[in-house]
Chain A
Amino acid sequence: MTDLPTDLTRATAAALADALATKAVSSVEVTQAHLDRIAAVDGQVHAYLHVDAEGALAQARAIDERRGAGESLSALAGVPIAVKDVMTTKGLPTTCGSKILEGWIPPYDATVVTKLREAGLPIIGKTNMDEFAMGSSTEHSAYGPSRNPWDLERIPGGSGGGSSSVLASFQAPLATGTDTGGSIRQPAAVTATVGTKPTYGGVSRYGLVALASSLDQAGPCGRTVLDTALLHAVMGGHDPMDSTSIDAPVPPVVEAARAADVRGMRVGVVKELGGKGYQPGVRARFDESVALLEELGAEVVEVSCPNFDYALAAYYLILPSEASSNLAKFDAMRYGLRVLPDGVDDPSAEQVMAATRDAGFGPEVKRRIILGTYALSSGYYDAYYGSAQKVRALIAQDFANAYEQVDVLVSPTAPTTAFKLGDKLEDPMAMYLNDIATIPANLAGVPGMSIPSGLADEDGLPAGIQILAPATKDERLYSVGAALEAALVDRWGGPILDRAPELGGVAAAKGA
């Protein structure tokens, strides 16, 4: 058993779980420590949109009581968690980073949230995100961007930048994310944290406010591979409320993370991901990681996935198409924002809908709704949506071919380290290119993970390595991720996140 650090917020979820199980620490203490940390640093980071101190402490108290009464509890019972604001939480605001849902309190929990509650994880708050998960920086949040704890002038990734910055600034030991084109993995990469996009259908989408239904996948975010696996096991599994949910047990992710064994595994380096446009420091850390895997006993080969070159183009047709339909429900008729048009007496329902959508959606959301509406229009459907679906099938075929040769694929997670806030805001294409390596997995429905690979020489900022596995073989991500993580911790003399600067003006957090 690991010894707990004096500062409970520095502990891993696995260590906290062990300490809670032996009653060395209470859930109330752990939860309170994180609430104190939030009070101290979130003014700078802006990772949370809503903090539920009272609710989290009440759940913590209930878990402590149950444990005190001798009940046997799940592995993570009592470990607090932050939930991305795209998941519905009964009684807690859910805005998806949009003005159009400001003040909306869902009457029901997402299945993932139900599972978290049943497993006894106190929900500490809701994390910031790009509006409706459209973005790679949180700059498209209607409530202002989150900031990267490594450099507050830089982006924490997106859309799940709230969850990644929560973890990187020790404001929660675990967080949930959703990944439509990289929204779990890219934020993990730029903050030196870990995130998994499970196999499509591996985690229920019920209660996830949909961006693109065929691409969206909820997944776990943590600071270590084992923590992420523990959360994956809680979140995953079949849900009869989600027709696309896989009716099979969660893959043995925790066992794989604990075994951390890559001996004899065949690892494919994707030729198409990592060349032009990739920052040298990112590429260097990636090459080192691949070399480490070879040292650990994996067999490394290069594989080609030629259709990945068309992934971004296909993605930016499929995603807006589905999003334009998914976001039609926000019409001011039943919930959320309602805006009356200026200078219209007695407005019609249609006029109220138009005025509300105009005022409630941000520019990126409008851009994608317009793109999607256009792509689905009769006369254009075959050329755009139809062709994109064909590309999608070809990308799935590329994966299938690759997995005949190798067990997992690897690439840098994102082409660059965290860029500066505002740098790409005026150039949507540059922003979209940030997801170039993560998008193919969503198009094919295969699982992917990002773990820290080190710091880039040129800017000293974190870089990430992406591991991809065949559908339903999520455990392979954890075998490779945990083995590589251990080797990198050895090489860097500790977790890479330990090298993040202490946030300015914050005294060392008080011990427990």
Chain B
Amino acid sequence: MTAVATDAVMDYDEAMAKFDPVMGLEVHVELHTATKMFCGCPTGFGAEPNSQVCPVCLGLPGALPVVNEKAVESAMRIGLALNCEIAEWCRFARKNYFYPDMPKNFQTSQYDEPIAYGGYLDVELEDGSIYRVEIERAHMEEDTGKSLHIGGATGRIHGADHSLVDYNRAGIPLIEIVTKPMVGAGERAPEVAKAYVSALRDLLRALDVSDVKMEQGSMRCDANVSLRPKVGDPLSSEQLAVPLGTRTETKNVNSLRSVERAVRYEISRHAAILDAGGSVLQETRHWHEDTGITTSGRVKSDAEDYRYFPEPDLVPVAPTREMVEALRATLPEPPGQRRKRLQSDWGYSDLEMRDVMNAGAVELIEETVAAGASAGAAKKWWLGEPSRRANAEGQDIVTYAAALGFTPAHVAELDALVTSGRLNDSMARQVLDGVLAGEGTPTAVADARGLELVKDDGALEAAVDKVIETNPDVAAKIRDGKVQAAGALIGQVMKEMKGQADAGKARELILAKLQ
């Protein structure tokens, strides 16, 4: 690998003492429509290169685009979920520039007439406070193809012997969501950036419009960062009045953690330059996940000119207000609101709710509760063995359970077997093992394994008598009032009963006989 000169960076706290950061985030989201934005080609991920192409998305001479109505619908739903206005009339525009992975050498996009504009997303930070991210616009465009540079050490175009282009991705519908300058975050800017992208991802997932897989590129983030001198509190009017500094745009930030790190790095890098009396170069930066730094990309001068003009091959998009309202009615409950409602319904602590969220088990627990289980039991069972095994397999719990055919109904049934008194906790764990091993429903497993708490008091009483007889010393202690010694006898009774006894009942019997 070629050595890259490392830029000077300033300690973050020192940077924050001297400067006020302003961010702008551009998030590109690939919609998971069945077909591409302007043609009928399928959009599946990971297909044989150049197998999902046609004259339109290859930009062959004479081919013409036709708008995917489903994609327009998704764009409007995203706009509505971000509290945006939906344009009554808007057009596509051509963004002209030459690049080998762009079949027409222009990208069909939107310019000054986005489908959605002027919204906001309220983002909850770790301490529970809310930061409102103002949304400038959300617009529709098409993705480009993908270049693969062969030869050379870095996989980058420089030093490569040749390049291959896969046009399967060319023409996949993209929505670009652009924030207004995010001011007033102060030292929490990196956290805000991460929280915003995370909240946006949850929202898009709830809308069911995209796979939102950052690692596969179906959600990509470009982070703009600039610094201005710190003159007061981040939200003070004096601070907000200071003009914005020169910004850099960091591309290729493809994980939540990277969003936070990249913003933090750029703040420290800008601060070092500005503090030394230099000026920040307006440019594109590349983020390097492995080393945690950014390197210079192309210089973004004001002379860069995409010669936008309205796309003459397409007709304007003019959704009726009735259509917009019909789409508004399809919006899911906002994820933040939903999380609060469920936490309160379920009576979880903040920590418990976070565990459930992190495990990705919210929907499973919701369905389990709907099937009759208590929220506590649902959490206990899902976050136990199934989560542990899913983790060991490197899968998320939903995928893992679905593949096994293990359902919320199974968990509810298991819980019912415990609450009805048929199984105790350790028996229920054995049943769960059986269900996860594919032996059938919890009832079937319990039946097949002969697992059932003994209800016959005669057998239990006989066992209690036997244990008292063989342990006269312990029995004497209990008679003397040392009730806690009963535990030792209960253990032996359970052993006698081969575990199939109700420990509570055994305790009752022992105390009754010795007091």
Contacts and interface: CB of A to CB of B under 8 A. Distances in A.
B66 A240 contact: yes
Interface in A310-337: 321-322, 324-325, 328-331, 333-335
Task: For chain B, give the interface size range.
Answer: 20 to 34
Contacts of B103: 329, 334
Most chain B CB neighbours (cut-off 10 Å) among A107, A209, A212, A329 = A329
Contacts of B98: 328, 331, 350, 353
B66 A241 contact: yes
Contacts of A104: 61
B193 to A, nearest CB: 30
Interface stretch (B220-228, B239-247, B308-316, B320-328): B308-316
Contact of A106 (B61, B96, B309): B61
Interface in A101-117: 101, 104, 106-108, 110
A214 B307 contact: no
A94 B309 contact: no
A377 interface: yes
A349 interface: yes
A207 interface: yes
Interface in A196-217: 205-210, 212-214
A407 B130 CA distance: 66
Nearest to A376: B307
B49 to A, nearest CB: 14
A213 B59 CA distance: 14
B278 interface: no
A329 B66 contact: no
A334 B309 CA distance: 25
A107 B66 CA distance: 19
B154 interface: no
B52 to A, nearest CB: 15
Contacts of A96: 61
A377 B165 CA distance: 29
B312 A94 contact: no
B309 A329 contact: no
A101 B62 CA distance: 12
A44 interface: no
Interface in B274-316: 305, 307-309, 312-315
Contact of B307 (A240, A242, A350, A373): A373
A245 B96 CA distance: 25
Most chain A CB neighbours (cut-off 10 Å) among B55, B65, B308, B309 = B309
A240 B61 CA distance: 18
A96 to B, nearest CB: 7
Interface in B54-82: 55, 58-67
B218 interface: no
B59 A376 contact: no
A244 interface: yes
B105 A331 contact: yes
Given A325-B106, A334-B103, A376 B309 contact: yes
B100 interface: yes
Given A88-B62, A107-B55, A333-B100, A243 B315 contact: yes
Nearest to B161: A346
Given A329-B105, A378-B305, A106 B315 contact: no
B163 interface: yes
Given A353-B98, A377-B307, A106 B64 contact: no
A381 B309 contact: yes
Nearest to A240: B66
Interface in A80-139: 87-88, 94, 96, 101, 104, 106-108, 110
A94 B63 CA distance: 14
A361 interface: no
Interface string B344-386: 0000000000000000000000000000000000000000000
A88 B307 contact: no
A308 interface: no
B64 A206 contact: yes
B194 interface: no
A106 B62 CA distance: 10
Nearest to B54: A108
A385 interface: yes
A207 B58 contact: no
Interface string A147-179: 000000000000000000000000000000000
A29 to B, nearest CB: 33
B61 A94 contact: yes
Interface string A374-385: 001110010001
Given A325-B106, A353-B98, A107 B60 contact: yes
Contact of B58 (A209, A334, A373): A334
A208 B63 CA distance: 8
A206 B65 CA distance: 9
A328 B100 CA distance: 11
B380 to A, nearest CB: 56
Interface string A248-289: 000000000000000000000000000000000000000000
Contacts of A331: 98, 100, 105
B36 interface: no
Contact of B62 (A206, A322, A376): A206
B62 A87 contact: yes
A248 to B, nearest CB: 15
B422 interface: no
Given A322-B312, A333-B100, A209 B307 contact: no
A128 to B, nearest CB: 17
Nearest to B158: A348
Contacts of A210: 61-62, 313
Given A325-B96, A328-B105, A350-B98, A209 B62 contact: yes
A377 B305 contact: yes
Nearest to B167: A334
A207 B63 contact: yes
B60 A108 contact: yes
B395 to A, nearest CB: 40
Contacts of B60: 88, 106-108, 334-335
Contacts of B308: 376
B251 interface: no
Nearest to B314: A243
A242 B59 CA distance: 14
Contacts of B64: 205-206, 241-243
A13 B416 CA distance: 85
A213 B315 CA distance: 12
Most chain A CB neighbours (cut-off 10 Å) among B62, B67, B94, B313 = B62
A131 B308 CA distance: 25
A324 B307 CA distance: 10
Please provide the 5 A-B residue pairs with the shortest distance between their CB atoms, ordered closest to farther: A328-B105, A213-B312, A376-B307, A214-B312, A209-B61
Given A329-B104, A376-B309, A377-B307, 6 more contacts: A206-B62, A206-B63, A209-B62, A210-B313, A242-B66, A331-B105
18 contacts: A104-B61, A106-B61, A106-B62, A107-B55, A108-B55, A108-B60, A108-B62, A206-B63, A210-B61, A325-B94, A328-B104, A329-B59, A329-B61, A331-B98, A333-B165, A349-B100, A353-B98, A376-B309
Interface of A: 87-88, 94, 96, 101, 104, 106-108, 110, 205-210, 212-214, 240-244, 321-322, 324-325, 328-331, 333-335, 349-350, 353, 373, 376-378, 381, 385
